[in-house]
Structure 1
């Protein structure tokens, strides 16, 4: 396979990553609306609109901000709006999207969790998007460091590298199976599925970034790993508060 993989559509050459990212977002949203129609929990228009706006604004700001702070030295030495806008990371999008949703819920006075329904559509979009990341190889910053392990792959240069996009796809598929099992129990408090997803994914990403090229900000840790630590701490604290409710559901 030659990297980056491209597709010829209507006479134009399109990279795999933006194409799969767009398809992932489209299918994820369709899946979300399908689940929303089937759900017994109905949110008011004001709550739904506030959550959507909060999530979108937070994710947009966070993905750009954290994506650019992965290499803060390059950001401040040679700043350009075009380069700033092109840098993204799902870690920043998820973390700041969460902040945006919580702020929006406070504005409209909604106290219940709204995250469970978005988990599987979000995971679907991420899995499809990561296929695009893999097909782009080393031409976007979604590849691993060189390795001599059996998992090493040639991704567009002379080195065998960790195919971190495939690792993430594998992790998300396994996490999907675990969360579906928990969901079938139907004995958990609202928001529990989303909390487990966030804690699991950010723990995985914290570990995964050790085998990705990164700018070390403090010790061996990069910007994304510091964001992961903050989210992990937040959800450990949140799950402690949820534990009593969960035990109540198990009785």
Structure 2
């Protein structure tokens, strides 16, 4: 198998990345439904649907804006608007979805934390999506800088590069099983599971950005790294509490 992996079936080119992206949404949602049936959800079905709608809208806007700021174009035209619509980032989607949920909860006056039930389905969805990113090689901006390290791979341009999508899958697998293991110990604090996921994943992405060939920086940091910092600031009370309990 060569990368980018672009099979043709009956003369029709298959977009593997798009298929896996849809599969990620489908399986992630089915996993969420299965978990909710097994869990006593304090949030009513109507409010949960409102929260999901807020998450979808927030994720859509956040992913597009974050993707745009990775390489912003200051001229506005029909083409740039189309590019903005098609450009997306999982980091912006996660943080935008978080803000969308919080706004929706304010509107419907829901007090209970809603994130824990989404944690494992989100991790599963990201992992499936990253398989598609890896198979697209350099055609998807999840590849790394050139390297002579043992993990380096030819992702389609003849150079050995860091396979960042694979690094992320390995990290998410570790995070998935780690959170599963500690879940029973943190159940008393509703919402902590999701917060730990966000802090861990955004921390990983902050570090991995240093081996991505980014072209746009602000104060030597990429837009994704600035988003990671914003996320940490948002969860600063949780960070302080975790450090206090650890000391």
**Deviation per CA, 1:34-74, whole angstroms, max 9, x where unpaired?**
011111124223311220111000000000011011011x3
Question: CA RMSD of the aligned region, Å?
Answer: 2.0
Map of 1:169 onto structure 2:
169
Once the two structures are superposed, the pairs formed by residues 75-224 of structure 1 within 5 Å of their partners are: 76=75, 79-185=79-185, 187-224=187-224
The structural deviation recorded for 1:75 is: 5.2
The structural deviation recorded for 1:189 is: 0.5
Question: What TM-score do you get using the length of structure 1 for normalisation?
Answer: 0.91
- Contact kept, 8 Å, 2:186 with 2:192, in 1: the verdict is no
TM-aligned CA distance change 1:218 to 1:186, over 3 Å = closer
Matched length: 245
The structural deviation recorded for 1:2 is: 1.6
- Contact kept, 8 Å, 1:7 with 1:14, in 2: the verdict is yes
TM-aligned CA distance change 1:7 to 1:34, over 3 Å = farther
- Contact kept, 8 Å, 1:68 with 1:88, in 2: the verdict is yes
Unaligned segments of structure 2, at least 5 residues? none
Question: What TM-score do you get using the length of structure 2 for normalisation?
Answer: 0.92
**In the aligned structure 2, how far is the partner of 1:67 from the partner of 1:131?**
19
**Deviation per CA, 1:126-184, whole angstroms, max 9, x where unpaired?**
00100000000001211111011111100001210000000000000001111001113
TM-aligned CA distance change 1:206 to 1:242, over 3 Å = closer
The structural deviation recorded for 1:185 is: 3.0
**In the aligned structure 1, how far is the partner of 2:38 from the partner of 2:197?**
21
The structural deviation recorded for 1:11 is: 5.3
1:58 has 2:58 as partner:
yes
The structural deviation recorded for 1:17 is: 1.1
The structural deviation recorded for 1:95 is: 0.6
Q: Secondary structure of 2:190's partner?
A: coil
**In the aligned structure 2, how far is the partner of 1:32 from the partner of 1:211?**
33
**In the aligned structure 1, how far is the partner of 2:159 from the partner of 2:2?**
14
**Deviation per CA, 1:74-129, whole angstroms, max 9, x where unpaired?**
35377522211111100000011000000100111111110001000110010010
**In the aligned structure 2, how far is the partner of 1:77 from the partner of 1:213?**
25
Q: Secondary structure of 2:235's partner?
A: helix
In terms of mean alpha carbon deviation, does 5-14 or 221-230 score higher? 5-14
